[in-house]
Amino acid sequence: MLQKAIEQLIKKNLKYEYDVSNDLYTIPVPVIKWKDNQLAFDCPFCHTNYKINGEPYKRCYFKTHIHGLCKKDSDGNYGVRTPHCDKKSKNYWGLNEINYEFKLIGNNMIY
């Protein structure tokens, strides 16, 4: 993971775990309930607006990602934790070079 992505996670008070055997970074993020069976969280990487050179504006907001398929599966899970980050964010933070996922955490439970 690039150093600026690590620094961004530190700014957002988030830590990450690295699984060497699967070459996978896992980033725990706090979530809130959205509608009936969906979860929402502020992405630590995706911004609402970018400059032409690919940098995010200083006064823009972080995007909110919605996770879930509007219903739980047979195991009671909200679905896979694949990131919904856009290409500009992935290029800026160097996330297209690594495998990563979000661990959705809320109400003292891990989804």
Residue 16: predicted pLDDT: 92
What residue type is assigned to position 48 of the chain?
Answer: T
Residue 9: predicted pLDDT: 93
CA 38 to chain centre: 15
Residue 61: predicted pLDDT: 92
pTM for this model (two decimals): 0.79
Residue 21: predicted pLDDT: 93
Angle at 78 between CA 70 and CA 85, to 5 degrees: 85
Could you tell me the residue range of the domain that residue 38 belongs to? 3-110
d(C-alpha 80, C-alpha 73), whole Å = 10
Residue ranges for the chain with pLDDT beneath 50:
none
d(C-alpha 79, C-alpha 61), whole Å = 26
Residue 40: predicted pLDDT: 85
Structure tokens at 9: 């996670």
For the chain, the domain total comes to 1
Summarize pLDDT for 41-55 with one digit per residue, the tens. Answer: 889 999 999 998 888
